[in-house]
Amino acid sequence: MPVPKQRKTKSRRNQRRSHHALKKLVLTKCPKCGYPILPHTICLNCGTYKGREFIDIFKKMSKRERKKKQKELSEQEAEKSKSAAAQGLSLEELSKNK
């Protein structure tokens, strides 16, 4: 059976193992619901990817859970529209609001 001719140094061993370190998990926010997700994956919270719905998340839920989830999503969309409206008001719209 083959046996190594020379012992591997600590330096060589550690250089080989340099790629074994754990890397930090990178998360992005879902553009629709804001839930943290891995890049290039479907959001499990709202079932969308790149603005299109791929998973009907309401199918698997009971009626009570479905109502609760729909209410949460509608509230989140309302908050987004309010913040977008507040940022994008023109001078005419500002004068109408007062």
Rg (CA), the chain: 26
Q: DSSP letters of 56-71?
A: -TTTTS-HHHHHHHHH
> How high is the pLDDT of residue 84?
67
Q: How many CB atoms lie within 10 A of CB 36?
A: 11
Q: 28 pLDDT band (50/70/90 cuts)?
A: very high
Mean pLDDT within 52-75: 83
Among the residue ranges 24-28, 83-87, 91-95, the one predicted with the least confidence is: 91-95
> How high is the pLDDT of residue 63?
84
Q: Give the closest residue to 46 by CA, choosing from 58, 62, 63, 61.
A: 58
CB of 88 within 8 A of CB of 81?
A: no
**Domain extents for the chain?**
25-71
